[in-house]
Amino acid sequence: MTRDDTHDAAGTAAPSDGVAAVAARIGAAAAFWVAVALPVALVALLAGGIERPTDVATFLLLVGVNGTALLAGHGYADHESQR
């Protein structure tokens, strides 16, 4: 099986360079940079101390957002190098 420009590594049809593809690249870029920058907020929150229940909730929410951003933006560098 050979790979061409219309299929990705899994063999499924790759999106064209339409609006959906541009939106996917922007979303991946945003998620990537959120995943890179968010640990700074986590460290600041830890440095300030987690004393109240709202601090714990905020910390856990930020960890969840960071994990989601890592998953959503993990292919960003791959997409940029293929352009």
- Residue 3 is predicted with a pLDDT of 47
Domain housing 53: 28-81
Q: Indicate whether 7 belongs to any domain.
A: no
- Residue 70 is predicted with a pLDDT of 92
Q: Indicate whether 13 belongs to any domain.
A: no
Per residue in 20-41, pLDDT tens?
Answer: 888 888 999 999 999 999 999 8
How does residue 74 score in pLDDT terms, banded at 50, 70 and 90? confident
How does residue 1 score in pLDDT terms, banded at 50, 70 and 90? very low
For residue 66, the tally of other CB atoms under 10 A from its CB is 18
**pLDDT, greater one: 2 or 68:** 68
Tokens of 60: 């856990």
Q: Per the structure, how many domains does the chain have?
A: 1
Q: Indicate whether 20 belongs to any domain.
A: no
Q: Indicate whether 19 belongs to any domain.
A: no
- Residue 14 is predicted with a pLDDT of 56
The span from the CA of 67 to the CA of 32, in Å, is: 11
Q: Indicate whether 37 belongs to any domain.
A: yes
